[in-house]
Amino acid sequence: MKCSSHGAIRPHSSKLAFLFRLSDGVIISLTLLTALFARGIPVADQYVLPALLAIILFSFIGRSFSIYQSQRGVTTTQLIWPVLLTWGITITILLTLAYFFKASTEYSRIVIGVWFVITPPILVLWRISVRGILAYYRTKGYNTRSVAIVGIGETGNRIGKVIKETPSFGLDLKGFFDNRKGDDNRTAKDLVAPRLGGFDELVQRAKAGEFDLVYIALALKGEDQVAKLITELADTTVSVHLVPDFFVFDLLHSRWINLGTIPTVSVYESPFMGVDGWVKRIEDVILSSLILLLIAIPMIIIAVGVKLSSPGPVLFKQCRYGIGGKAIKVWKFRSMTVTDNGDEIVQAQKSDARITPFGAFLRRTSLDELPQFINTLTGEMSIVGPRPHAVAHNEEYRKLISGYMLRHKVKPGITGWAQVNGWRGETEALDKMEKRVEYDLIYIRNWSLWWDLKIVFRTVLTGFSGKNAY
């Protein structure tokens, strides 16, 4: 039986997992020894127990987060976060045990603190180094796995492009298999690898050991073909991955979610689930608290200016949609002679007679938005997110723009990706609102803490004023 795989490591994957556990134990021990040495504290018996507990806990918890499984094909973020989370849980358990057993006084707090801090970056650096070495050898043709893709549609070709463009994955794409005729209008025009035949040819070649991996990327309506093909491939030793054709949908943070023992796929989901939600909230609390301290006196001056420049309240509280489409009261300094908050609201226009002279200045500089940092601190809004629209405008545009309400899968923001790219102000034409929604959804799909900070930085430099701010 002929085998085309060049995988030199895969047969020893269990041994490698053990070596990774062993290396983690060595790193955890050495970082503790380093912390002790730096403080001039001799190695004593009482430090052996926390080291052993940390090694055991990290190993068992890490298994739950799959840090000892093959990381072929995962992103750097997906490689790093499970390690950091595993170490975070490990030290939490250690601190809890020390508290309950009243053992914290037996250890140097500085030593333990340094140990807790320096261990995770070294664990991460070690994994990135190993990943880099493996990636290098895979680009040279070593430790590769031969791949076949079933389905010549858009999904199959996307998989093929990823494999071709990322040689560090160590995947050698041999070609595509599909039962459809070559002149079928669903056929991808620019396949990244040759078409090798139909399903029968795939099964025969898989039985002959020509492939290690098969990705099945057929349309959802082809479930009968998929079921038949999976059954036939059960008579081979290939690893089969099913990739449903979800690209027909405008996916928003899709992921696998278990409902009991039943796996489901979320098509539309918020990016701020679990740890990411905590990170986002911590970011909002810290930034809004610091900013409110800095703008407290300017806000008082602006409030006096609003009160003296025209009759009416200082603050304008308008009902808008928040996360999940729930109504919230968004605060602004009043900039108009009216405070419309009903079923019909006319957007502010250039040279709008309703805008007060002082209000025009506030709107041009976006200073009228400053009270929304209070909305952020209370948790109704975020520093960065899609700008909230009046309820009347939401009800209008949700009927005209597909996916409009997906903006409300996250909290509305004071600034956003659309705003720093110029899509702010009046949307007198539908295409302007469509562009704003497009940028909002791009932000939601690709959110990261660093992207938030980038948007905040761009807002500080250019986002407080602009030709569309009036």
- 304 Cβ contact partners less than 8 Å away, ≥ 6 residues apart: none
DSSP states of 343-354: S--PPP-TT-TT
pLDDT in tens, 145-167: 889 999 888 888 888 888 888 87
**CATH tag for 145-248 (out of 3.40.50.720, 2.30.300.10, 2.30.42.10, 3.40.50.2300):** 3.40.50.720
- The full set of domain ranges for the chain reads 10-139, 145-248, 275-463
Q: How high is the pLDDT of residue 5?
A: 41
- 352 Cβ contact partners less than 8 Å away, ≥ 6 residues apart: 336, 470
CA distance readout (Å), 180 to 176, 185, 338: 11, 10, 63
For strands 315-321 and 262-266, give the pairing. unpaired
* pLDDT averaged over every residue in the chain: 81
pLDDT at 62 over 90: no
pLDDT at 130 over 90: no
* Interatomic CA distance for residues 377 and 286, integer angstroms: 9
Location of structure tokens 């099964």: 203
* Interatomic CA distance for residues 134 and 167, integer angstroms: 11
pLDDT band for 355, please (50, 70, 90 cuts). Answer: confident
Percent share of the chain, pLDDT over 90 = 23
CA distance readout (Å), 403 to 175, 251, 373, 417, 437: 36, 10, 27, 17, 8
148 three-class SS? strand
* Interatomic CA distance for residues 61 and 316, integer angstroms: 51
pLDDT in tens, 31-57: 999 998 888 887 777 788 889 999 999
pLDDT band for 4, please (50, 70, 90 cuts). Answer: very low
pLDDT band for 467, please (50, 70, 90 cuts). Answer: low
The least confident of 315-324, 331-340, 389-398, 458-467 is 458-467
At 231, list the tokens. 């059954």
The least confident of 159-168, 331-340, 374-383 is 331-340
Q: Read off the pLDDT of each residue in 363-389 and give the average, rounded to a whole number.
A: 90
At 205, list the tokens. 């070649």
3-state secondary structure labels for all residues of 234-283: CCCCCEEEECCCHHHCCCECCEEEEECCEEEEECECCCCCCHHHHHHHHH
Half-sphere exposure of 59 (CA within 13 A, CB side): 18
* Residues 225, 179 contacting (CB under 8 angstroms): yes
Q: Which amino acid is at 261?
A: T
Q: What is the DSSP letter of 355?
A: B
pLDDT band for 7, please (50, 70, 90 cuts). Answer: very low
Q: For the chain, percent helix, then strand, then coil, each to nearest 5?
A: 55, 15, 35
Q: How high is the pLDDT of residue 12?
A: 43
* Residues 434, 402 contacting (CB under 8 angstroms): no
At 68, list the tokens. 């000892």
Q: What is the DSSP letter of 348?
A: P
* Interatomic CA distance for residues 318 and 334, integer angstroms: 10
pLDDT in tens, 174-230: 999 998 765 444 454 578 889 899 999 999 999 888 998 899 888 777 778 888 898
Q: Which of 371, 334, 364 is nearest to 350 (CA)?
A: 364
The pTM score is 0.56
At 318, list the tokens. 């308008």
